[in-house]
Amino acid sequence: MKKIFLTLLTVTILMACTQSQSKEEAALDHKVDSVLRLMTLDEKIGQMVLYSSDWDVTGPTLKKGYIDDIRNGNCGNIFNAYTAAYTRKLQKVAVEESRMHIPLLFGYDVIHGHKTIFPICLGESTSWDLKAIEKSARVAGSEAAASGINWTFAPMCDISVEPRWGRVSEGAGEDPYLGSKIAAARVRGFQGNDLGDTLTILACVKHFAGYGAPLAGRDYNTVDMSERVFLDTYLPPYKAAIDAGAMSVMTSFNELFGVPASGSHYLLTDILRTKLGFKGFVVTDYTSMNEMVNHGVAANEADAGLLSIKAGVDMDMQGEVYFKYLKKQVQDGLVADKMINDAVRRILRVKFMLGLFRDPYLYCNEAREKRELYSPAHLEAALDVAKKSMVLLKNENHTLPLRKGEKIAVIGELATSTRDLLGSWKAAGDWNFMKSIVDELRAFNGESNVMYSPGCKTNGEDRSGFAAAITTARKADKIVVVMGESADMSGEATSRTSINIPGVQTELLQQLKALNKPIVVVLMNGRPLDLSKETTLATSILEVWFPGTMGGKAITQVLFGEYNPSGKLTMTFPRNLGQVPIYYYEKNTGRPIYIPDPKYKSRYIDSPNDPLFPFGFGLSYTTFAYSDIRLSTKELSDKGELKATVNMTNTGGVTGEEVVQCYVRDLVGSVTRPVKELKGFEKITLKAGENRNVTFTITPDMLAFHRLDMTYGTEPGDYKLFIGGNSRDVKETGFKLVK
């Protein structure tokens, strides 16, 4: 009886919630319509336009006179403008001088921090710490909001297995499951539960879709993949971000299935709106509408605009195509009024949700801006994430952690560069405010214990500094070489045909090796690199990515063992460029490497198949032992669940964190299935000697995929289940999925 009553109560509450939610929605729609009704066609098109201010641009076109456009109602949205004072000035023009008084959206690339810069996104992903990543986005959002911005062009949800592509630095790596969790965490961080809260800003899921798979790793290049791969591997992180409530989506520059994304009805309407149920607005990437002429699907910009509006693009970033051609196309009957009204509705709706109609200056608070930017709490959060993102790739003879008082020689131009610590998309980050790695090492270990010599430039052929660096290194107990890529070598338009460490840095490392002293490589980079030489030369390698404002301190704390490294790679590190693309969820093929035939196997004649460092890999200053896996059942039924448990022990001498990872393999499918797929992970902390169980729950929906007939669902049969500390070194068992 009690149970029935409770069920009824729950149903009633749920109904009431839905009704009140739909009441709220209806009220919102009503408000939007009351504005829309008063607008002229020109003003409507103005809302569908986004122009860059002249502060900071990422592309070739720059619209002059945007302030007049705002005043005339021809521009409803601005990007690349920040500070409370400047955005207030522009907002004032919109709400006090334009006829309709509609407030502006202010967009900006707040990618990994606004003023307080966190590690690059690839770095954050290697923390596998969703709470920390959400917090990072929250801090970035609240600093941006304090600085006049209400819209960030993040998160980038592009899966990539292409280290040549410089934008892997902006993503969460190669895996769709982890990528989805991170995408959702970042949306939650930026948007919170209420877009109208002044601590949150609007997120923008980008680049829709498939931008991370350019052929040959060349930015903006053609993307060509099967629909099955797109749906099962590339789509999930975008979907997760939309499910988490993201209210804007940016198209991508590339073509997919033969159609540029900004003109793809399949992507922007069939997938995004119909399949994923997206309710927000769609903006193009920078002039990507115009670029459809170069792609060769539109004869001129006017036709490109037609393709976009019909595909489902609501807003034109910087291209001036809607501004120039849309009005006439409506008047000529080529574009239905309804299309314009729907697009403007979606944009106005978000402006209402952000609270801009309530108070257009909500995000322009100078006093708050002063208080919040670089606040101690924000710097503390950036330090925390930076430490958690570092991955210990090698540590022979316990070279690390360094001991306080040890004499160390620091070599490498990157060790004194604060600019490089920030990585690409530094937003409002200020490298003059920061301390370098050498500064922080000296502050911790004493001036006289930290000698420095640059040795050579990060990029260049000059070897004249080698001798001085070797003399300095001779005097030290241990050598710390800070090497890798400069910040401008990753990010947009930075594809490389080599993934080696640039210049003569490795040559210097080779010469330092002759001194027979322990060498610690501190590696800064925005992509997986070929480290095959460096791994033989260095005693230890700490991957630090581009760690942000607090990078110098974070590196110091990790090197000296104040923090025990816990990061794990989220992209496979190959042995050589010839192995690319290489990723852990490959297919078995008909001739896998382990069959006995010596020649006719799927392999290289000049390189092993396996990577140098697999997905999920990372060491600690302690060690962990994994017990065998215990399953709650050997048969997983259609509506059931299966629990897989390992007992974890910290077998080393210090407290450490481990990312315990759970993978499955579907052994026989109607289509071929990957050899492993990540299905769960948990980051745990264990004191020396401590042990505890870690349990993963597998439910049938986690095993679904696009089957032979392209329906989405599961197939009964045998599965393998693996648990381990990376995708290679795992315990293994099996279960059956029964229908």
Rounded to the nearest whole angstrom, what is the least distance from the CB of residue 109 to ligand BGC in the complex?
Answer: 5
Q: Which of 44, 135, 164, 206 binds ligand BGC (CB under 6 A)?
A: 206
Distance CA 450, CA 476 (A): 9
Amino acid at 461: E
Six token digits for residue 59: 């592309």
In the numeric block, the tokens 């033969």 are attached to 258
Return the number of the residue (83 or 288) whose C-beta is nearest ligand BGC: 288
Distance CA 650, CA 87 (A): 52
Residue 285: active-site member: yes
> Could you tell me if 43 and 477 are in contact, meaning their C-beta atoms sit under 8 angstroms apart?
no
The residue number whose beta carbon is nearest to ligand BGC equals 153
Sign of the CA dihedral running 604, 610, 612, 616: positive
Return the number of the residue (110 or 481) whose C-beta is nearest ligand BGC: 110
Q: How many residues does the structure list for the chain?
A: 739
Rounded to the nearest whole angstrom, what is the least distance from the CB of residue 59 to ligand BGC in the complex?
Answer: 5
Beta sheet of 248-251, edge-to-edge order: 205-208, 248-251, 281-283
Return the number of the residue (134 or 492) whose C-beta is nearest ligand BGC: 492
Residue closest to 238 by CA, chosen among 251, 220, 221, 223: 251
Q: Which of 31, 36, 42, 58 binds ligand BGC (CB under 6 A)?
A: 58
Rounded to the nearest whole angstrom, what is the least distance from the CB of residue 51 to ligand BGC in the complex?
Answer: 12
Return the number of the residue (79 or 128) whose C-beta is nearest ligand BGC: 79
Return the number of the residue (157 or 178) whose C-beta is nearest ligand BGC: 157
Q: Which of 175, 492, 657, 658 binds ligand BGC (CB under 6 A)?
A: 492
Distance (Å) of CA 628 to CA 150, 390, 722, 731: 50, 28, 10, 6
Q: Which of residues 238-267 bind ligand BGC (CB under 6 A)?
A: none
Beta-bridged to residue 299, according to DSSP, are none
By CB under 6 A, is residue 63 in contact with ligand BGC? no
Return the number of the residue (144 or 529) whose C-beta is nearest ligand BGC: 144
In the numeric block, the tokens 């790596």 are attached to 173
**Contacts with ligand BGC: how many residues (CB under 6 A)?**
8
Return the number of the residue (207 or 683) whose C-beta is nearest ligand BGC: 207
In the numeric block, the tokens 């969460």 are attached to 172
> Could you tell me if 90 and 70 are in contact, meaning their C-beta atoms sit under 8 angstroms apart?
yes
Task: Collect all residues with Cβ–Cβ distance below 8 Å to 521 and sequence separation of at least 6.
Answer: 481, 483, 509, 534, 537, 538, 540, 541, 542
Burial degree of 312 (CB within 10 A; 0-12, 13-18, 19+): buried
Beta-bridged to residue 409, according to DSSP, are 451, 479
Return the number of the residue (285 or 316) whose C-beta is nearest ligand BGC: 285
Residue closest to 691 by CA, chosen among 661, 730, 656: 656
Rounded to the nearest whole angstrom, what is the least distance from the CB of residue 159 to ligand BGC in the complex?
Answer: 16
Rounded to the nearest whole angstrom, what is the least distance from the CB of residue 731 to ligand BGC in the complex?
Answer: 40
Distance CA 223, CA 175 (A): 18
Rounded to the nearest whole angstrom, what is the least distance from the CB of residue 280 to ligand BGC in the complex?
Answer: 16
Rounded to the nearest whole angstrom, what is the least distance from the CB of residue 286 to ligand BGC in the complex?
Answer: 4
HEC profile for 271-336? HHHHHCCCCCEEECCCCCCCCHHHHCCCCCHHHHHHHHHHHCCCEEECCCHHHHHHHHHHHCCCCC
Q: What is the DSSP letter of 579?
A: G
Burial state string for 356-367 with b = 16 or more CB within 10 A and e = fewer than 16: bbeebebbbbee
Six token digits for residue 389: 């993102």
Rounded to the nearest whole angstrom, what is the least distance from the CB of residue 204 to ligand BGC in the complex?
Answer: 8
Distance CA 341, CA 366 (A): 35
Residue closest to 254 by CA, chosen among 282, 291, 227: 291
Amino acid at 582: I
Rounded to the nearest whole angstrom, what is the least distance from the CB of residue 426 to ligand BGC in the complex?
Answer: 13
Return the number of the residue (424 or 570) whose C-beta is nearest ligand BGC: 424
Distance CA 167, CA 158 (A): 9
**How wide is the angle at C-alpha 513 spanned by C-alphas 508 and 517, nearest 5°?**
130
> Could you tell me if 393 and 90 are in contact, meaning their C-beta atoms sit under 8 angstroms apart?
no
Return the number of the residue (301 or 492) whose C-beta is nearest ligand BGC: 492
Amino acid at 251: T
CA atoms within 13 A on the CB side of 636: 24
> Could you tell me if 62 and 54 are in contact, meaning their C-beta atoms sit under 8 angstroms apart?
yes
Q: Which of 285, 314, 316, 420 is catalytic?
A: 285
Return the number of the residue (260 or 700) whose C-beta is nearest ligand BGC: 260
Q: Which of 59, 561, 581, 717 binds ligand BGC (CB under 6 A)?
A: 59
Amino acid at 144: A
Rounded to the nearest whole angstrom, what is the least distance from the CB of residue 28 to ligand BGC in the complex?
Answer: 27
In the numeric block, the tokens 């066609």 are attached to 41
Return the number of the residue (472 or 494) whose C-beta is nearest ligand BGC: 494
Q: Which of residues 279-298 bind ligand BGC (CB under 6 A)?
A: 285-286
Cα-only R_g, the chain: 27
Rounded to the nearest whole angstrom, what is the least distance from the CB of residue 208 to ligand BGC in the complex?
Answer: 11
Q: Which of residues 147-186 bind ligand BGC (CB under 6 A)?
A: 153
Q: Which of residues 92-121 bind ligand BGC (CB under 6 A)?
A: 109
Rounded to the nearest whole angstrom, what is the least distance from the CB of residue 212 to ligand BGC in the complex?
Answer: 12
| Residues forming the site for ligand BGC (CB under 6 A) | 58-59, 109, 153, 206, 285-286, 492
Q: Which residues are catalytic?
A: 285
